[in-house]
Amino acid sequence: MLATMPGASFAGKLPPLTAAQAELAERLRSHVRHLSESIGPRNFKFYEGLKRSADWLFENLRSFGYDVERLPFEADGQVFENLHTCNDQGPFTVIGAHYDSVYECPGANDNGSAVASLLELARLLRGRQDLRFVLFTNEEPPFYKTELMGSRVYVQKLLEERQSVKNMICLETMGYYTEAPDSQKSPWADWLPSVGNFVAVCGDVRSTRIVREIVGRWQGRVDFPCLGVAPTPEIEQELLMAGMDMSDHDSFWRASIPAVMVTDTVFYRYAHYHTAEDTWEKLTYEPLARVVGGLAQVLSLPLH
Ligand SMILES: [Zn+2]
């Protein structure tokens, strides 16, 4: 059983895009294209790509008026870095996304879509002391779920510095939406809707309250389908087995910090996951702009 969610998901025909949403869609497209085409693969093997990405992200966040700190650490003889926007006063909500890509993959959807979304959220929500934007390195193998995964290193630092973190929102592979019939796969038959036109907000049992808060603010306010996923204790293990812990929010869960993943459901919908075909023109930027605009609306007031 899933925990019940407040409100009903948006259904029916989407309203026309506003001018602001159209501009947002173009900005998202341009960011994803830059990361996946101009830079391309970015990881321990394609180290130059990782460096160029970090420089570009640093400059972008600075251009929005943020103080940005680079947080280098060593792994297997190379230096990697997380980046974050600085705010001294807690408690804050971390909004995070990994900026590396897997091996030879240009990583347009995984995770250029989420990095682009993070940048635009940072631009739309600038000046907010209760939000901290973090870009993680080393989410992908061989560092995935090891002590050298960027988000694990970051959480360790938060704990050592006794920083006051309320919760975390992980942006992961969120750029593909379609109205095609049977476009959505599901870990179990009929568990998810059959059309892949929605964004999912997923939490573990301990994060149910924040899933409800985000989804509750979304429904009735944002004209885009949104599905809240939080398990009851009986099915938590099954959901984890289905991949619900497969990104940087897991590093926060391990430290008992409530965290959610915002996603298009990754390989349950997108055919080009972790392949060389994960390129910028495969993504759907107008729906993504509705999602990012919706998140900005939901976050216009601090989360509890
Ligand atoms: Zn990945």
The string of pLDDT tens digits covering residues 41-77 is: 999 999 999 999 999 999 999 999 999 999 999 999 9
Residue among 32, 39, 33, 45 nearest 97 (CA): 32
Q: Would the pLDDT of 179 be above 90?
A: yes
CA–centroid distance, residue 163 to ligand 1 (Å): 28
pLDDT in tens, 145-171: 999 999 999 999 999 999 999 999 999
* Residue 165 Cα distances to 32, 158, 214, 217, 255, angstroms: 29, 8, 17, 21, 11
- Tell me the domains of the chain and their CATH numbers: 19-296 (3.40.630.10)
The bridge status of strand 259-263 relative to strand 165-171 is parallel
Query: Which residues have a beta carbon within 5 Å of ligand 1, which is an ion?
Result: 102, 110
Type of residue found at 141: P
pLDDT in tens, 203-254: 999 999 999 999 999 999 999 999 999 999 999 999 999 999 999 999 999 9
Distance CA(282)–CA(258), nearest Å, equals 32
* Residue 250 Cα distances to 78, 96, 149, 161, 257, angstroms: 24, 12, 11, 20, 9
Distance CA(4)–CA(27), nearest Å, equals 35
What is the reported pTM? Answer: 0.98
CA–centroid distance, residue 90 to ligand 1 (Å): 30
CA–centroid distance, residue 7 to ligand 1 (Å): 31
CA–centroid distance, residue 274 to ligand 1 (Å): 6
Binning the chain into helix, strand and coil, the percentages to the nearest 5 are 40, 15, 45
The bridge status of strand 68-75 relative to strand 78-85 is antiparallel
